[in-house]
Structure formats: C-alpha cells, structure tokens
C-alpha cells in the first residue's frame, strides 16, 4: 500500500515537472476542439435555461462558472502540495545548516580564544640556545620571531578553517533559498497559466451564452480568487525572508568578528 502511494506521488511529481517546463516557456495551452465545443454547448444551454444568475451588481454566476473557479483553486492546491513535498528536504537542509552554524560559531570562538592566549604570551626574543652565543642580537631576535610565527600559524589556520566552514554554510543556505524561491515562482507561473486557460474557456462559454440572451453584459469579468496562491505566497515570502534575515545576520557577525580580530559574539 505504501509503495503504491509513493508511486502515485512520483507520477504526480513527474507530471508537475512537465507542467513547470511549460510554465517556464511562458505558453498558455490552447483550447482543444472538445473544450471549445463543450463550453459553447454549456454556455448556450445555461443561457437558454436561465441558469446564469446575477449574484451581485457586477458578478454573474452559474454552475459551470463556479466549476471553472473551483478547478483553478484545486489545481493550485495540488501544485503547492506537491511543491512542499519536493522541498521538504531543502527545508530540512536549511534547518540543519542553521544548526551547524551555531556549532561552527562556537568552534570559531574557542579557536580564537586559543589564538588570543598564544598572542598574549610573553616571548623572550633575546633567548639564546646552545651554539648561538656568538650570533648577533638582530639574528637571534629574527630567529625567535620566526619560531613564534611558526608556532602561532597552526592557531591562525584553525581560526581560518572554522571561518571558511561558516561562510561555506552561509553560501549553501543562500543557494537552497534561491532554489526554493525559483521553484515557488515557477509554481506561481504555472497556476497563472492555468487560470488564463480557464479564462479562455469562460470567454467561449460567455460568447455562446450571449447569442441566446442579449441582456447579458458583453464581457464577463470573471473573478478567480485563487486564495491558495495568495496564502502560499505569504507563507513562502515569510519563510524565505526570515531565513534570509538570519543568514545575513550570521554573515555580518562573522565579518565583524573577523575584522575586529576578537570575540564579539554573545555566549550561546
């Protein structure tokens, strides 16, 4: 039973990918001959039987018109449901990357503390080892400086390593967010194309209805509310905005920390 359900989901995703390809091309699917004939017949029949009613001063309704509105809403709901299935892994990845940033930040803080501790240690640059009794002071001092720099290099490297990992995580978050945004835009475009396709069907329906009932307005202003699209747009906008704000805050903190060369982070 589970395999059957997963197979259905995969088929839906494959179908959606084909639809998104059409959306990316920006083309509205033309009405088929069957759709044209069916909508003409429905328009003529509903008009003749008085099934087209004026529900408000600027709105006309019928069972067929409501069906077209509902079809757009159902299509949008299905597409965004599939989109969430597709992006479930991306959302988990973003959460893991943010969690990883906190761990990496603590590692960077610890590495910097070690570096600062070593930098604060007093070094005797005049110290001479066996065999250096006759070596000039300037050369002895230069040797001690090189030894100190060599000793500190591993601490600098550790700080740089953690810093690079943090920026790598930040870049990955940006990449995933961009992918989520792109997929959302494609799905929005897909629902818009479907709405425009349904609007064409409504136009055919209305022209047929006009031939029987001349009292109908010459043009119908069909209102596709598309509540699903508006709700999902708000959801994705909030999600991406919040994630981007967190990403920018973290990036700014690390850049500030690097510039000042000391720990400016609050302890987690």
Mean pLDDT confidence for 116-120? 77
139-159 burial, b at 16+ Cβ within 10 Å, e below that, comes to: ebeebbeeeeeeeeeebeebb
* Whether the Cβ atoms of residue 64 and residue 183 lie closer than 8 Å to each other: no
- Name the strand (E) or helix (H) holding 175: helix 137-212
pLDDT in tens, 171-218: 888 888 888 888 888 888 888 888 888 888 888 888 888 888 877 877
pLDDT in tens, 125-162: 666 666 666 766 676 667 667 777 777 788 888 888 88
187 token code pair: 């799905």
Tokens 């429905």 belong to 42
% residues pLDDT > 70 (the chain): 73
* Whether the Cβ atoms of residue 209 and residue 216 lie closer than 8 Å to each other: yes
Sign of CA dihedral 123, 124, 129, 132: positive
User: What are the angstrom distances between the C-alpha of 63 and each of 69, 98, 139, 202, 215?
Assistant: 10, 50, 97, 12, 19
* Whether the Cβ atoms of residue 166 and residue 254 lie closer than 8 Å to each other: yes
User: What are the angstrom distances between the C-alpha of 192 and each of 17, 39, 184, 199, 229?
Assistant: 16, 20, 12, 10, 9
Of 79, 52, 30, nearest in space to 196 by CA = 30
| Single pTM value for the model | 0.64
- State the pLDDT at residue 267: 36
Higher pLDDT, 185 or 247: 185
Average pLDDT over the chain, rounded to an integer: 75
């Amino acid at each position: 039973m589970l395999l059957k359900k997963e197979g259905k989901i995969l088929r839906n995703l494959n179908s959606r990918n084909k639809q998104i390809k059409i959306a990316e091309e920006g083309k509205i699917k033309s009405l088929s001959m069957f759709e044209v004939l069916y909508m003409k017949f429905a328009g003529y029949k509903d008009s003749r039987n008085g099934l087209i009613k004026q529900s408000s001063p600027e709105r006309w309704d019928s069972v067929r018109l409501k069906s077209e509105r509902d079809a757009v809403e159902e299509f949008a709901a299905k597409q965004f449901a599939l989109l969430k299935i597709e992006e479930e892994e991306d959302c988990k990845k973003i959460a893991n990357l943010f969690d990883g940033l906190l761990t990496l930040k603590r590692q960077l803080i610890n590495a910097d503390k070690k570096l600062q501790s070593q930098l604060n240690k007093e070094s005797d640059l005049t110290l001479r080892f066996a065999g250096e009794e006759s070596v000039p002071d300037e050369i002895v001092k230069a040797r001690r400086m090189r030894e100190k720099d060599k000793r500190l290099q591993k601490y600098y490297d550790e700080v740089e390593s953690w810093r690079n990992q943090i920026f790598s995580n930040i870049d990955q978050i940006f990449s995933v967010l961009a992918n989520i945004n792109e997929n959302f835009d494609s799905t929005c475009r897909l629902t818009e194309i479907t709405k425009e396709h349904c609007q064409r069907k409504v136009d055919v329906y209305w022209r047929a209805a006009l031939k029987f009932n001349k009292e109908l307005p010459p043009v119908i202003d069909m209102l596709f509310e598309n509540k699903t699209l508006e709700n999902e747009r708000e959801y994705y906008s909030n999600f991406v905005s919040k994630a981007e704000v967190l990403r920018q805050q973290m990036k700014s903190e690390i850049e500030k920390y690097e510039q000042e060369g000391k720990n400016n982070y609050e302890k987690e």
